[in-house]
Structure 1
Amino acid sequence: MATVTFLGAAQEVTGSCHLLESDCFGQLLLDCGMHQGGDLISRLEEEHFQFNPAGIDAVILSHGHLDHCGMLPKLVHQGFTGPIYCTSATADLLVVMLKDAAGLYERDLERENLKRKRQGKPERKPEYTMQDVERVLDLCEGLDYCETRSICSGNANLCLHDAGHILGSSIVELTFTERGKQKTLVFSGDLGKRDAVLMNDPSSPKKADLVLMESTYGDREHRTEEDTLAQLEQILKDTWNRGGNVMIPSFAVGRTQELLFHLGCLRQQNKLDNWQIFLDSPMAIDVTRIYEKWLELLSDEDTQHLDKDHKAPLEDFLPNLFLSVTPEDSMAINKMKSGAIIIAGSGMCTGGRIRHHFKQRIWNPNNTLIFVGFQARGTLGRILVDGARHIKLFGEQYVVKAQIETLGGFSAHAGQSGLVRWISHFKPVPQVVLVHGEPKAQQALADRLYKELQMNVEIPARNHSLVF
């Protein structure tokens, strides 16, 4: 019998990793993600695989966010040599995402080891290197949406469907025959919401024996796009009138491109004051180039507003956008006393340039900090959303006086009703397991699924195994 063991994103939102085992196809991993929050060096050292990486036959990757792919280099470092299946667009994104993460890790490790050397302590060995990242990229095999690929020596068939979450994100459909019976497993990955800007609506497979469904927003709905844009417009106007600046921690993949598009729309409608907009993230700039390469995968309705004949249509849509590539470019933004919208990583404020902008501006009540994505437990972003009045940055304490705002309508995840609608398409009712969600959200979703669809779902703890 096939088993699935939930090694991450089990009653939590980060670290997606699920191990599938069967005599039919061997051992497969669905995602190999990193937990978010805390010190990067310690986090990588503390992440231990509950299996032998060399014994994994293949990895099936849902999409390119680090909480789904960030442990792939460590997996390779410890002996994995099999194929990594994902969409071709995701493979392109991995080049940027994993190289950037490795660069940050190498710099942090170098600083840490210099400090330890001065203290007479032994050096910390790297958990992976840039060479491991290159090997990950070499192992990637790109698929088109709805293409069926025979994997594991022909013992299973893989098909990826559009999840509508970020560029290249996929719903995994795995079909195999075990003891004369055909079985289908569907893994939702991260599901996008319907009518999300730039993205297509998530696809809806109709049949499965087992469904692993994300539940990030299982206990709430998102504001409508119209309401969210009105809220953004008002926040920008209020901050402009106070003579302040706006800081937006944003994920490099998906959220940044969506923000640029929305700001471009406000400008087209003459609803954007004379803001200077800074995209202060080399990774987000590179990712935006990849989005422009794969425009055919995005929503036709939204991309019709872009001048596709130009090299950089998203930038052309927003001419008051400045791309901040070098550290010097980033530091130059400090001279802006007012009128700057600063979009910078990381999205959960766990690192990146956004923390340097906090140092310059979070203590000023004229400024505004806007959160546009989910903030996981243990991250600086979550601490701020929860109302912290003091935070520690670079070894110093800072008072939080900037206005804190949250735009829930910009989420790249389906809300509760979207999740219910998606799972309701499966006939007959499959076995359903909720992953990638915090317990409160998962229980709320489970209650609604039982009430409306008479669907009993399971909420596995980490390291729990299930036979299907």
Structure 2
Amino acid sequence: MSTLTFLGAVGEVTGSRYLIDIDDDAPVKLLLECGLRQGGPDAERRNAEPMADLARSLSVVVISHGHLDHAGLLPRLVREGYRGPIHCTGETLELLDIMLRDAAAVMGRDLEWENRRRIRAGRQPLQALYEQTDVDRALEQCVPHSYGEVVTLPGDARLVFRDAGHILGSAIVELNVPSGGRRRQIVFSGDLGNPGSPLMRDPERVSGADVVLMESTYGNRDHRPQEESIEEFAQVLEAAHDEGGNVLIPAFAVGRTQEILFHLSRLHHAGRLRQQRVFLDSPMAIRVTELYARNWRALDQKDVSSLNESAGGEPHRFLPGFRATRTVEESMEINRIHGGAVIIAGSGMCTGGRILHHLRYNLGRSSTHIVIAGFQAAGTLGRALVDGATEVRVLGETLPVRAQIHTIGGFSAHAGQRDLLSWAGAFRDEPRLYLVHGETVAREALREALLAHGLHAVIPELEEVVAL
């Protein structure tokens, strides 16, 4: 009998990892996802846990999309001995080339600073989770596929990717595996997109499954309608302009940044963006935005057409006043601006990156408006701001929070509760539903909502093993 083991993203949103043991003539171990844990006091320790035994036992790895909480530990898996294929979509491979290299560089810089401090204190230096050479090997092992392509895997398993509508290249994963003399259809939602979000197509519906792993990030609430969120965003921009302050937007480099730039462009052409300067202050987000532009055919063509029409087909007119700041020196210059600017910078949960420097210079000003446009995991600085902290630690300093904080949930790239229920309702024959990628409150609320719709769902525990 084949089994499924929940190794991550249960009771939390990050650290996605699931192990499928395929009971065939020659047993095969398949790893679905290899995500980095982000936020919380134990994340660093858990990311550093040995992976050698797992790495050397695996035959194949499958990745749903390029966010680090789903794929950020791939180089560590390779570093500790995995030498098999890593299956993903073609666009995901392009994103991983950006995301993993950036992650290795950031970790390297942070580790160098931390080890200097530890050595001065007479403590043992820490080891890197992985380095650029490990990223190179991981990327070499990636095998790209198109949506709908049927891929034969070891253990007589079959793989198909479907469009999840979350970010460029994101996929719903279908796995068909032998188990106890029969075949079982496993469907992993990955991160399901928010239907109606710009640039992305709506998530595909899947009807056939025996076992479903479904994300529950927003299982306890719905997002505001897109039109209301855009209006709220416009009003925040207007208020910041009138008060003479800056607008800070901590944004994920993949998906959220591109959506925000889309909205800013539309607001500009509607005459509702009074700020004359818009900075994208994230080298990684700049590279990802360029990747989106190159892969425009993979995006929602209605939105692409609307951008072209409003700009008269001239890219430089999409968002006049836009500036991509790649260098540290350019980023530092922004901190001299005390008002009238929109500053988009990573990281999306304020756990690192250039947004921290902008928060340092702007948090104490009541004229500053901070737009939180995505999920903030427990234990992150972004979550503290959302929860109303009056002071926070930033770059080793305790800073007062006088800035105005705005949470605009309609910009989320995740499906809300209503959309999750609709997606789950498309399955026939009542498959076993396991709720993953959600904090406790969200998972329990989604389970109750599913039950009210006649669908039974299970909340798995970490390292729980279930038969397929």
Fold in common (TM above 0.5): yes
Residue 146 (structure 1) aligns with? 148
Residue 266 (structure 1) aligns with? 267
User: What is the 5 A alignment of 1:121-160?
Assistant: 121-152=123-154, 155-160=156-161
1: CA distance, partners of 2:316 / 2:256: 15
2: CA distance, partners of 1:391 / 1:370: 17
2: CA distance, partners of 1:127 / 1:36: 14
Cα 1:261/1:45, change in 2 over 3 Å: closer
**How far did 1:293 drift?**
1.5
Residue 6 (structure 2) aligns with? 6
Are the equivalent residues in 2 in contact too, given 1:88–1:143 (CA < 8 A)? yes
1: CA distance, partners of 2:47 / 2:422: 40
For the residue of structure 2 that corresponds to 1:248, the secondary structure is strand
Letter in 2 for 1:378: G
Residue 16 (structure 1) aligns with? 16
Which of the residues 91, 103, 106 maps onto 1:104? 106
Are the equivalent residues in 1 in contact too, given 2:52–2:80 (CA < 8 A)? no
Letter in 1 for 2:87: Y
Are the equivalent residues in 1 in contact too, given 2:229–2:411 (CA < 8 A)? yes
Letter in 1 for 2:125: E
**How far did 1:191 drift?**
0.2
Residue 82 (structure 1) aligns with? 84
Residue 222 (structure 2) aligns with? 221
Runs of 4+ that moved beyond 6 A? none
Are the equivalent residues in 2 in contact too, given 1:184–1:210 (CA < 8 A)? yes
**Structure 2 residue 318 is matched with structure 1 residue 321:** no
**How far did 1:275 drift?**
3.1
In the alignment of these two chains, the number of paired residues is 464
Are the equivalent residues in 1 in contact too, given 2:363–2:402 (CA < 8 A)? yes
For the residue of structure 2 that corresponds to 1:335, the secondary structure is coil
User: What is the 5 A alignment of 1:24-173?
Assistant: 24=24, 26-37=28-39, 42-43=44-45, 46-49=48-51, 51-152=53-154, 155-173=156-174
Are the equivalent residues in 1 in contact too, given 2:360–2:394 (CA < 8 A)? yes
**Structure 2 residue 437 is matched with structure 1 residue 436:** yes
**How far did 1:37 drift?**
1.7
**Structure 2 residue 409 is matched with structure 1 residue 408:** yes
Cα 1:177/1:38, change in 2 over 3 Å: closer
1: CA distance, partners of 2:46 / 2:279: 31
Cα 1:435/1:78, change in 2 over 3 Å: same
Residue 459 (structure 2) aligns with? 459
Residue 353 (structure 2) aligns with? 352
Gap runs ≥5 in structure 1: none
2: CA distance, partners of 1:40 / 1:281: 27
Cα 1:374/1:45, change in 2 over 3 Å: closer
TM-score by length of 1: 0.96
Cα 1:54/1:104, change in 2 over 3 Å: same
2: CA distance, partners of 1:332 / 1:350: 22
Percent identity of equivalent pairs:
46
Letter in 1 for 2:407: T
For the residue of structure 1 that corresponds to 2:239, the secondary structure is helix
**How far did 1:127 drift?**
2.5
1: CA distance, partners of 2:46 / 2:178: 37
Are the equivalent residues in 1 in contact too, given 2:2–2:178 (CA < 8 A)? no
1: CA distance, partners of 2:451 / 2:355: 42
For the residue of structure 1 that corresponds to 2:392, the secondary structure is strand
Summarize deviations over 1:390-414 as a string: whole Å, max 9, x none: 1112221100000000000000000
Letter in 2 for 1:30: L
**How far did 1:50 drift?**
9.1
Are the equivalent residues in 2 in contact too, given 1:38–1:350 (CA < 8 A)? no
Gap runs ≥5 in structure 2: none
For the residue of structure 2 that corresponds to 1:21, the secondary structure is strand
Letter in 2 for 1:361: N
TM-score by length of 2: 0.96
For the residue of structure 1 that corresponds to 2:227, the secondary structure is helix
Range with bigger deviation, 247-256 or 419-428: 419-428
Residue 364 (structure 1) aligns with? 365
Are the equivalent residues in 2 in contact too, given 1:74–1:132 (CA < 8 A)? yes
Cα 1:459/1:40, change in 2 over 3 Å: closer
Summarize deviations over 1:85-121 as a string: whole Å, max 9, x none: 0100000000110000000111111122222333333
For the residue of structure 1 that corresponds to 2:198, the secondary structure is coil
Range with bigger deviation, 271-280 or 208-217: 271-280
Summarize deviations over 1:33-63 as a string: whole Å, max 9, x none: 0111258994466444495211111111010
1: CA distance, partners of 2:250 / 2:316: 19
**How far did 1:316 drift?**
4.3
Residue 183 (structure 1) aligns with? 184
Residue 277 (structure 2) aligns with? 276
1: CA distance, partners of 2:271 / 2:230: 14
2: CA distance, partners of 1:49 / 1:187: 23
Range with bigger deviation, 169-178 or 223-232: 169-178
Residue 378 (structure 1) aligns with? 379
2: CA distance, partners of 1:222 / 1:87: 28
1: CA distance, partners of 2:43 / 2:107: 7
Letter in 1 for 2:218: Y
Range with bigger deviation, 382-391 or 268-277: 268-277
**How far did 1:289 drift?**
1.0
Are the equivalent residues in 1 in contact too, given 2:52–2:81 (CA < 8 A)? no
